[in-house]
Structure 1
């Protein structure tokens, strides 16, 4: 779940407390309210990128339910060493998504060295087979795009298809990232369900999900306006639990790749616990 998130985002052992069955089972899918903290470092970079090192922290807080909508708060701060200096970036995102109603609100800000670079706000709705967007900042304008999934809806779709054993599928998504006026075509690849081992470096952080299965997932994002064969403009891979918790992130921006490890996970309530 981490594109707007830089980007975008289960479990057998939580079955009794959260109403979830095993990864392989059918049934109602819900996303667990949770707060996850990831430490991020540079995995590799091309000479062209000019990047020598990256260290950062990502905090993702997810609340709500399928009946009342989902709220997310996301912040990603990085210190980037470019050889002749250090640049500090700070990305912040706040969203609300009503999956049943097909509505999505977003407020995305990015800063470099404490200076505001971008501030994009707006709302989108799924109407008559189109995504209709009303941008309120930095300029007021209306945009109409092709039918798309919003982030939580897309995550629910990924989990549903993974449960069915579908390994490769495509979707068009709108997450309010960039300038809030475009969709992305995505290709998702899902591996077979696995369990964490004692040698897993995140095993302590993921203790609240101990014993639960996860799927290795990779999502590539493409510019739908580009013609012919193309490389993804961005891709991410992660381990996904069937309550929407993700870990072991790899964020590939082309010229450089970041790695994010889960360091702390707090479950903030039962899945769909505020539904009446």
Structure 2
């Protein structure tokens, strides 16, 4: 799940899928374990930094992954209401959609973010990775092209590689990541991975009870700050979560710097495989 500070965009999944070329690419090893699903999360304030004016934060996030056979169509919708110590509310929303081919080489993306009902940001375009890095071509906020650094991963591929690293006993994955939530190209990421956990009882979500999982914390660093893939500078954004081996995530913690929020899984629906 590509969770990010801006999160989310609007573009129908089928429209995204139809816009990408055929034939069907060979899937990345591990893609077969990922499943289509819909998940709803309740967001609540976790903590605020010293001297912060934030008194309360609450919201919801809806995440959907559709197996389109030759790729993954995802949509994340995010709504957060922040209340300051004077009782003033600010509401932000994001709607973020992607289509990523199963070989992890092509991505179509669209993000729309609003604040107090007015559009504050739009990002859209498509990206393609190569052994040398690849390119991203933006259509919004302006038409431009950016070069991707060598080793760049797209969001679903990053999830698959992170799970593979966890099962192999690796404790860290350091790579550039491009997910379409930034108008400045790829970001450097450092993923710290806990030990692989065998299946555990799960009365609320029995579909997850037979699956192994691993907890991870992903830190994002803007490359224009000279972070060098998670170097000494502070991260721009961090997210902690538990990934199950089928790509479902729970126990989210999103750290925006000034404050962080918890995301608790409330509803989960497994979607049938159409392929």
TM-score, normalization: structure 2? Answer: 0.83
Specify the alignment match of 2:74 in structure 1: 72
Cα 1:27/1:125, change in 2 over 3 Å: closer
Q: Give 1:83 deviation, angstroms.
A: 2.7
- Structure 1 position 165, deviation (Å): 1.3
2:178 aligned to 170, 174, 180, which one? Answer: 174
1:193: how far off?
2.5
Counterparts of 1:90-239 in structure 2, within 5 Å, are 90-100=93-103, 102-127=105-130, 129-147=132-150, 148-179=152-183, 181-194=184-197, 203-227=202-226, 229-239=232-242
Task: Report the equivalent of 1:49.
Answer: 52
Cα separation, 1, equivalents of 2:120 and 2:89: 17
Structure 1 residues 103 and 54: alpha-carbon distance in aligned structure 2, compared to 1, 3 A threshold: same
Taking the aligned partners of 1:205 and 1:115, their CA distance within structure 2 comes to 37
Instruction: Give the Cα–Cα distance (whole angstroms) in 2 for the partners of residues 263 and 108 of structure 1.
Output: 24
Aligned CA distance change for structure 1 residues 5 and 92 (closer, same or farther; 3 Å): farther
Note closer, same or farther for the CA distance 1:208–1:192 as it changes in structure 2 (3 Å cut): same
Deviation at residue 101 of structure 1 after TM alignment: 6.3
After superposition, the Cα gap between the structure-2 partners of 1:134 and 1:235, relative to the gap in structure 1 and judged at 3 Å, is same
Tell me, yes or no, if structure 1 residue 3 matches structure 2 residue 6: no
Deviation at 1:251, TM superposition (A): 0.7
Aligned to 1:15: none
Gap runs ≥5 in structure 1: 9-25
Q: How many residues align?
A: 249
The question of whether the paired residues in 2 share the 8 Å contact of 1:173 and 1:183 is answered with yes
In the alignment, the residues of structure 2 paired with residue 229 and residue 59 of structure 1 have an alpha-carbon distance, to the nearest angstrom, of: 33
- Asked whether the 8 Å contact 2:6–2:113 carries over to 1, the reply is no
C-alpha distance in 2 between matches for 1:251 and 1:117? 21
Higher relative contact order (CA 8 A, sep 6+): 1
Q: What per-residue deviation string (whole Å, max 9, x for no partner) do you get for residues 207-263 of structure 1?
A: 221242211111111222324721111111111101100000011112111100000
> Which structure 2 residue ranges, 5 or more long, are not aligned?
9-28
The residue that corresponds to 1:250 in the other structure is 253
CA distance in 2, matches of 1:167, 1:101: 22
TM-score after normalising by structure 1? 0.83
